[in-house]
Amino acid sequence: MIGAIVNTLAAVVGGLLGSLLKKGIPERFADLVQKGLALCVLYIGIKGSLVGTNTLVTILSLVLGAILGELMNIDGAIERLGAWAQRKLSKGGSRLGEGFVTASLLFCVGSMAVVGSLQSGLTGNHETIFTKSMLDFVSAIILASTLGLGVCLSGIFVLVYQGAIVLLARWAAPILSDYVVAEMSCAGSLLIVALGLNMLGITKLKVANLLPAMFLPIIFCLFMK
């Protein structure tokens, strides 16, 4: 749970600092910091992808995962969920509600939150979550400088959401072999690479639609070893 706790603290502390900066953060500074962190995301993704040992499992997982994700339109569903939550929880123009909803969606509705939490629970590797925490810390400062303390409240949602994924992964870990976990981590790390490329503006991949690829190694590894 340490990864989820650190991420929660990053959101809360960043929100508190940002609320003290009433005039906001200069865009050029925020953009440069985000680009630097994007390079770190790429590094973590590339390094994590090297744990896999069966290239065929990775290829099949990504290809079939992309097809399944596109058919289910996970990315579109996430966007609709975000729009619905924004309408329901920010009625009356409340900046507190707007800050909470905006930050919660930014911090939790994304493949990095899912992949990082799964890696944390399955392997005890918190590197992806710690990097995400740095990203969320910077984002919380920027958001709270305009939306106020509502951003800090998103820390509650971060803890519950990511903590639940970590606990679920930890429960499932004993029934998954090291071989399966390695292949899942490999596929998940490639999604992290895709995120880093998106953050740098190089690509506009719908990474959420690739999420099924992280779970397909469980099936493929039954037949390939």
Q: What pLDDT was estimated at residue 66?
A: 92
Q: What pLDDT was estimated at residue 71?
A: 93
Q: Taking the complete model, does pTM exceed 0.85, yes or no?
A: no
Q: What pLDDT was estimated at residue 44?
A: 80
Which residue reads 């469980």 in tokens? 218
Residue 104 reports pLDDT greater than 80: no
Q: What pLDDT was estimated at residue 22?
A: 63
By C-alpha distance, which of 154, 120, 106, 107 is closest to 44?
A: 120
**Structure confidence at residue 60 as a pLDDT band (50, 70, 90):** very high
Pairwise pLDDT comparison (89 vs 39), residue with the higher score: 39
Q: What pLDDT was estimated at residue 194?
A: 87
**Structure confidence at residue 225 as a pLDDT band (50, 70, 90):** low
Handedness of CA 25, 30, 144, 6 (dihedral sign): negative
CB 104 within 8 A of CB 157: yes
Residue 170 reports pLDDT greater than 60: yes
Residue 91 reports pLDDT greater than 60: no
Can you tell me the distance from the alpha carbon of 6 to that of 24, in angstroms, rounded to the nearest whole number? 24
Which residue reads 């991949």 in tokens? 205
Where in the chain are the domains? 2-220
- Residues 38-61 have a mean pLDDT of 85
